[in-house]
């Protein structure tokens, strides 16, 4: 009968410094391994979503809009060109959401896997960053596929359309980091998903200047866009892809809002992970 | 580095107003199999999490492998193998993937981990399940996998929190066999349990805990010797009559314990005591002579049974 070797007294094997510098990557590696199990489903979502949107909103509604506004276009361009950066950013947000919120609740509560990770040299902060990095990987994969579908539909008129890829990942990263910290704080998720889906995700998607310029909304509803990473990223995306007019000041504001959300989300989440694991 | 692998003095942990661990002292030597015995809620798991260098103490001193866990958590954890009360395996991954990713968390080279997985699958008797999803495993298999996972880094100390709780008798015996082999090999084990038979089988020395404090310390045999008699006579007169005869019985031996369904009588010679009972005209419905166990020690110390 075999007995595993346990070299008592040999501390040579483990290189604690290596985990200190690469721990978050090890966590991300494990998360991506899990994601790969669902790769087919992730792939289907990443393809089906844009196909549905592009057919109904882009071609159906877009055709109607383009016909009625004439050559002036929406914001000076064809409706699909206007819409593309927003849809991409929304796809990135959904992707990072799925891969930060669910694994975080699962790790603390459903399976308690974070506690077993924390029994190794990994720290709470490393676990939190690792989960986040893996979520970015998912966002990148989703956005690339989405982009491919848009290209196939001829929705990417502008030669600089690819610049919407980094802005959408940026949106996903900012929102994902914030949502991860919310999930880390959550003790009871009973109502969370209902609230998240209906009162946060849905309004953000609808009122962030996604389908029409934010300025065409009544002023008292525009604040939703101002706090929405989707709006800020979409504005940047529109500027980069077809030269949508933004003042330099506003451009910095968009950038600063996204960076603030990202950095504060990451710091908060690392702290909450550490605190909750050390209880 | 001190001669002990683990050393605690006045170790205290509070959760708000509740004191989970109340200023306890203990040491664990290299190669020793050390147990924490006590009922649920005694503070055993909290002690384990502090020794595991994840949960921080509120007062007292704690040294693990010569280091303070508050300052050197990751460095200490690098040399511990932890089997938590809940398996907390990654349900989406396969058996071998669970071992692999865990090995990676220690910064172990891929090649080393791959070799180690083979060794551990054999040890845990899971060779045929290597590609199975963890979800599909039985409780005993999951438990063995969790132990195998804790061994992937060749730890200095293996810590097991309630290793066989929730397992059927056969699965428990397989697990005990695996743990006993590790113990024979000289691996330092720290085990919590509320099963006295488990503590007797696996522990060289143990502390008996209740309500966050240590009630007694010693080897299973010495604890039984110090806190109980050689034999125990269990008699049942029917739940309504046990109370009635208790006073008579008390006069016949060193000590008795009245439980709801039976009376335990502590004595050096159980058979002789039983004859004495019959001679006095009492006729118990059933009787049983057995040797004293840690359960009796606990009962003596706390007035309560381990499993309530």
CATH number, position B60: 3.40.50.300
The whole-number average pLDDT for the span A198-206 is 87
**Is there a domain that residue B301 lies in?**
no
Taking CA atoms, what residue in A is nearest to B30? Answer: A8
Q: What is the pLDDT of residue A197?
A: 83
φ, ψ at A8 (rounded to 5°): -60, 130
Q: How far apart are CA B30 and CA A9, in angstroms?
A: 9
Q: Please identify, among B182, B197, B218, the residue that sits at the C-terminal boundary of a domain.
A: B218
Q: Please identify, among B218, B243, B267, the residue that sits at the C-terminal boundary of a domain.
A: B218
Of A121, A277, A278, the CB nearest to B78: A121
Q: What is the pLDDT of residue A7?
A: 59
Residue B172 Cα, gap to closest chain A Cα (Å) = 18
Taking CA atoms, what residue in B is nearest to A275? Answer: B55
**Is there a domain that residue A254 lies in?**
yes
Same domain as B199, residue B247: no
Same domain as B243, residue B113: no
The parent domain of residue B126 ranges over 4-218
**Is there a domain that residue A75 lies in?**
yes
Q: Does B148 touch chain A (CB under 8 A)?
A: yes
Q: What is the pLDDT of residue A2?
A: 60
**Is there a domain that residue A184 lies in?**
yes
Same domain as B269, residue B206: no
Same domain as B151, residue B285: no
**Is there a domain that residue B302 lies in?**
no
| Element at B192 (helix H, strand E) | strand B188-193
Q: How far apart are CA A86 and CA A234, in angstroms?
A: 5
**Is there a domain that residue A6 lies in?**
no
Q: What is the pLDDT of residue A169?
A: 96
Same domain as B156, residue B89: yes
The whole-number average pLDDT for the span B187-204 is 91
SS3 letters across A23-40? HHHHHHHHHHHHHHHCHH
Q: How far apart are CA B1 and CA A277, in angstroms?
A: 28
**Is there a domain that residue B71 lies in?**
yes
Is pLDDT above 80 for A6? no
The count of domains in chain B is: 2
Q: What is the pLDDT of residue A159?
A: 87
Same domain as B198, residue B168: yes
**Is there a domain that residue A17 lies in?**
no
Same domain as B270, residue B209: no
| B3 interaction partners in chain A (CB closer than 8 Å) | none
The parent domain of residue A250 ranges over 23-277
Q: Please identify, among B166, B196, B218, the residue that sits at the C-terminal boundary of a domain.
A: B218
ipTM for this prediction: 0.89
Coil, strand or helix: which one is B112? Answer: helix
Same domain as B152, residue B80: yes
Highest mean pLDDT among A183-197, B38-52, B243-257: B38-52
Helices within chain B (DSSP H only) = 44-51, 69-77, 95-105, 110-123, 139-150, 169-184, 196-202, 220-227, 242-250, 270-279, 294-302
**What is the per-residue pLDDT across A115-146, written as a single tens digit (0 to 9) for each?**
999 999 999 999 999 999 999 999 999 999 99
Is pLDDT above 80 for B304? no
The whole-number average pLDDT for the span B140-145 is 94
The count of domains in chain A is: 1
Is pLDDT above 50 for A61? yes
**Is there a domain that residue A9 lies in?**
no
Is pLDDT above 70 for A3? no
**Is there a domain that residue A97 lies in?**
yes
Taking CA atoms, what residue in B is nearest to A20? Answer: B74
Same domain as B120, residue B34: yes
Residue B94 Cα, gap to closest chain A Cα (Å) = 10
The whole-number average pLDDT for the span A148-176 is 90
Residue A188 Cα, gap to closest chain B Cα (Å) = 19
Count of all residues that appear for chain B in the document: 308
**Is there a domain that residue A161 lies in?**
yes
| Residues forming beta bridges with residue B289, ordered by sequence position | B233
Same domain as B126, residue B159: yes
**Residue B84 token pair:** 């938590």
Same domain as B152, residue B10: yes
Is pLDDT above 90 for A23? yes
Instruction: Report the percent of chain A where pLDDT is more than 70.
Output: 95
**What is the per-residue pLDDT across B53-99, written as a single tens digit (0 to 9) for each?**
999 999 999 999 999 999 999 999 999 999 999 999 999 999 999 99
Count of all residues that appear for chain A in the document: 279
Contact A62, A215 (CB under 8 A): no
- Contact assignment for B105 to A111 by CB distance below 8 Å: no
Same domain as B202, residue B234: no
Q: What is the pLDDT of residue A215?
A: 87
Q: What is the pLDDT of residue A13?
A: 67
């Amino acid at each position: 009968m075999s007995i595993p070797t346990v070299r008592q007294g040999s501390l040579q094997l483990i290189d604690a410094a290596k985990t200190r510098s690469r721990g978050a990557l090890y966590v991300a590696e494990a998360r991506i391994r899990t994601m790969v199990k669902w790769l087919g489903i992730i792939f289907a979502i990443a393809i089906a979503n844009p196909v549905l949107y592009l057919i109904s909103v882009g071609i159906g509604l877009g055709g109607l809009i383009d016909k009625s506004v004439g050559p002036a276009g929406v914001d000076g361009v064809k409706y699909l060109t206007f819409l593309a950066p927003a849809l991409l950013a929304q796809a990135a947000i959904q992707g990072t959401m799925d891969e930060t919120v669910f694994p975080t609740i699962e790790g603390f509560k459903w399976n308690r896997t974070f506690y077993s990770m924390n029994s190794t040299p990994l720290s709470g902060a490393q676990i939190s960053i690792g989960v986040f990095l893996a979520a970015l990987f998912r966002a990148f994969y989703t956005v690339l596929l989405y982009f491919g579908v848009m290209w196939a539909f001829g929705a990417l008129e502008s030669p600089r359309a690819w610049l919407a890829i980094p802005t959408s990942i940026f949106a996903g990263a900012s929102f994902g980091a914030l949502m991860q910290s919310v999930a880390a704080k959550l003790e009871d998720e009973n109502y969370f998903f209902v609230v998240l889906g209906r009162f946060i995700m849905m309004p953000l998607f609808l009122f962030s200047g996604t389908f029409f310029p934010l300025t065409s909304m009544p002023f008292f509803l525009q604040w939703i866009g101002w706090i929405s990473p989707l709006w800020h990223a979409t504005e940047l995306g529109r500027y980069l892809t077809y030269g949508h007019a933004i003042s330099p000041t506003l451009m910095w504001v968009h950038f600063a809002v996204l960076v603030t959300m990202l950095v504060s989300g990451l710091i908060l989440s690392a702290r909450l992970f550490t605190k909750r694991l050390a209880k | 580095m001190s001669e002990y692998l683990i050393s605690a003095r006045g170790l205290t942990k509070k959760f708000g107003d509740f004191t989970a661990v109340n200023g306890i002292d203990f040491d664990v030597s290299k190669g020793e199999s050390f147990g924490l015995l006590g009922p649920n809620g005694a503070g055993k798991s909290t002690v384990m999490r502090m020794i595991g260098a994840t949960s921080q103490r509120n007062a007292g001193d704690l040294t693990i492998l010569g280091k303070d866990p508050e300052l050197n958590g990751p460095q200490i954890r690098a040399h511990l193998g932890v089997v938590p009360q809940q398996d907390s395996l990654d349900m989406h991954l396969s058996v071998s993937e669970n071992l692999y990713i865990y090995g990676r968390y220690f910064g172990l080279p891929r090649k080393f981990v791959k070799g180690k997985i083979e060794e551990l699958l054999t040890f845990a008797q899971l060779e045929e399940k290597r590609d199975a999803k963890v979800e599909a495993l039985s409780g005993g298999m999951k438990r063995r996998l969790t132990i195998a996972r804790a061994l992937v880094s060749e730890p200095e100390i293996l810590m097991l929190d309630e290793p066989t709780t929730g397992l059927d008798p056969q699965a428990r015996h397989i697990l005990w066999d695996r743990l006993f082999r590790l113990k024979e090999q000289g691996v330092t084990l720290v085990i919590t349990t509320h099963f006295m038979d488990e503590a007797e089988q696996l522990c060289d020395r143990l502390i008996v805990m209740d309500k966050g404090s240590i009630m007694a310390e010693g080897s299973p045999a010495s604890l039984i010797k110090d806190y109980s008699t050689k034999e125990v006579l269990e008699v049942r007169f029917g739940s309504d009559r046990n109370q009635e005869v208790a006073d008579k019985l008390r006069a016949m031996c060193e000590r008795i314990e009245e439980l709801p369904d039976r009376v335990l009588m502590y004595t050096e010679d159980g058979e002789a005591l039983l004859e004495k009972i019959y001679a006095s005209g009492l006729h118990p419905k059933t009787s049983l002579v057995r040797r004293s166990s840690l359960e009796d020690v606990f009962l003596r110390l706390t007035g309560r049974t381990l499993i309530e």
